[in-house]
Amino acid sequence: MKKTIFILALSLLSLSACKNDKKQTEKNPMQPQEMNMKEMDMKSSDDHEKDDHDHNATMGDKDRHINATTDKNTATSGIIDSYLQIKNALTEDNKEGAAAGGNMMLTAFSKFDMSKLTETQHKEYMEIIEDAKEQAEHIVKSPIDHQREHFENLSIDVNDLITLLGTDKTLYQTFCPMYNNKKGAIWLSETDEIKNPFLGSKMLTCGKVQKQIN
C-alpha cells in the first residue's frame, strides 16, 4: 500500500513538473539554439549598420573655409586633367576609364610641387589632398556605382583646390538635382554641354550649369 502511494506521489510530482515546464516554455518560447541564432542576426545587423556608418563618415559633407584666389595657376593642370578623365569616363559608363583616371590623379598628386605654397595654402592643400587621394584610390578599385559615390566627394575636393590655388582652364561648375536621393551633387566640366557623370546613360543630359570658372 505504501509503495502504491509512493508511486502515485511521484506521478503527481512528474505531472506538475511537466506543466511548469510547459508554462515556462510558453513564457519563453525561444530555445537556446534559437536565441543564439537571433543574437548572431542582431550582431550581423549591427555590424552592417556600423559598416554603413563608417562609409558614410568617409563620404560625409565637407565644411571648408577657403580664401578664394583668381590666379591663373598652371600647377593644378595635371590634377584637373585627371579629374576630367574620370568625369568623362563616368558619363560613358566606363568603369575602366574612370579607374585609369584615378591612377592618373594619384600620379599627379605625387608630382605636385608644394614648395611654392604659402603656409596657409600648404595646410589647406594637405587637407584637401588627403581626402582627394582617398577618393581616387576608391575609384581605382571600385565598381562603377561606388566610383560615382566617390566622384561626388572628389568633385568637392577639386573644386576646393581650384578655389584655393586657381587654374588657367575655363571650367563649368554643373549641378545634378537628381543624384543622391535628389539631394543633388556638383561636378566640373571643360564644356557647358551637359553630360552627367553621376547618372551616365540613364539620364545623360540631367543637370544645369551653375557658374563658369575663368
For the chain, domain boundaries: 71-213
Give the residue ranges of DSSP H helices in the chain: 2-27, 32-58, 77-91, 95-111, 119-141, 144-165, 179-182
Pick from 158, 172, 65: nearest CA to 112: 158
Segment among 4-13, 31-40, 51-60, 119-128 with least mean pLDDT:
51-60
Pick from 70, 73, 99, 71: nearest CA to 86: 99
Task: Please report the pLDDT score of residue 94 as a whole number.
Answer: 98
Task: Please report the pLDDT score of residue 62 as a whole number.
Answer: 62
Percent of the chain with pLDDT over 90: 67
Question: How far is residue 36's CA from residue 207's CA, in Å, rounded to a whole number?
Answer: 51
b/e per residue 97-119 (b: at least 16 CB within 10 A): bbbbbbebbbebeeebeeeebee
Task: Please report the pLDDT score of residue 64 as a whole number.
Answer: 75
Torsion of CA 59, 61, 67, 73, to 10 degrees: 40
Q: Is the pLDDT of residue 82 over 90?
A: yes
Residue pLDDT, tens place only, 11-51: 444 444 444 444 444 444 444 444 444 444 444 444 433 33
User: Is the full-model pTM beyond 0.85?
Assistant: no
Q: Is the pLDDT of residue 193 over 90?
A: yes
H or E element that contains 189: strand 185-189
Q: Between 98 and 43, whose confidence is greater?
A: 98
Tell me what the pLDDT averaged over the chain comes to. Answer: 81
Task: Please report the pLDDT score of residue 9 as a whole number.
Answer: 46
Pick from 86, 139, 130, 88: nearest CA to 109: 130
Backbone phi and psi for residue 177, each to the nearest 5 degrees, phi listed first: -80, -10
Cell numbers that stand for 204 in this block: 545623360
Percent of the chain with pLDDT over 70: 71
Contacts for 180 with CB less than 8 Å, ≥ 6 apart: 152, 198
Beta partners for residue 187, in sequence order: 174
Backbone phi and psi for residue 210, each to the nearest 5 degrees, phi listed first: -90, -40
Pick from 82, 66, 70: nearest CA to 167: 70
Into which CATH architecture does domain 71-213 fall? Up-down Bundle (1.20)
Q: Is the pLDDT of residue 140 over 80?
A: yes
